[in-house]
Amino acid sequence: MSAAEPSGGWAPGQVVVGDDPVELNPGRARITLTVHNTGDRPIQVGSHYHFAQANPSLDFDRDAASGFRLDVPAGTAVRFEPGIVRDVDLVPLAGHRIVPGLRPEGGLHG
């Protein structure tokens, strides 16, 4: 037994996961949008960012994306390389769906 392993066989903060994959956002409605980075630099959008307000160099249907975020694990992001077109899955924002102050245009206000 090492110093990092207590007598019970468990380490502090140890996480035990099951064998089955974890389903993200079960039961949530999803939409798929095609996104084109028209800029000359990579753009990253975080997991819980209101997608309709993402960088203006990303070309996609912003009206359809209103009230949605990326369907990716919390704390991760999707990177859009310059000139590349890709599809992304989005899920509705939860809670009160109030998204003020991210960008001057496109905020949701209750």
Q: Quote the pLDDT of residue 30.
A: 96
Q: Quote the pLDDT of residue 13.
A: 87
Q: Quote the pLDDT of residue 40.
A: 98
Over the chain (110 residues), what is each successive 10-residue block's mean pLDDT?
60 87 90 99 96 96 95 96 98 84 62
Neighbours of 107 (CB within 10 A): 15
For residue 99, what is the DSSP state?
A: B
User: What is the domain partition of the chain in residue ranges?
Assistant: 31-92
Q: Quote the pLDDT of residue 58.
A: 98
Q: Quote the pLDDT of residue 3.
A: 53
Task: Find, among 87, 102, 47, the residue nearest to 69 by Cα.
Answer: 47
- Burial class (CB within 10 angstroms; exposed 0-12, middle 13-18, buried 19+) of 24: middle
Q: Quote the pLDDT of residue 16.
A: 85
CA atoms within 13 A on the CB side of 108: 21
> Cβ(44)–Cβ(65) under 8 Å?
no
Four-way CATH pick for 31-92: 2.10.150.10, 1.10.10.10, 3.40.50.1950, 1.20.1050.10: 2.10.150.10
AA identity, residue 37: N
pTM to 2 decimal places? 0.76
Nearest 5 degrees, angle CA 101-CA 53-CA 105? 60
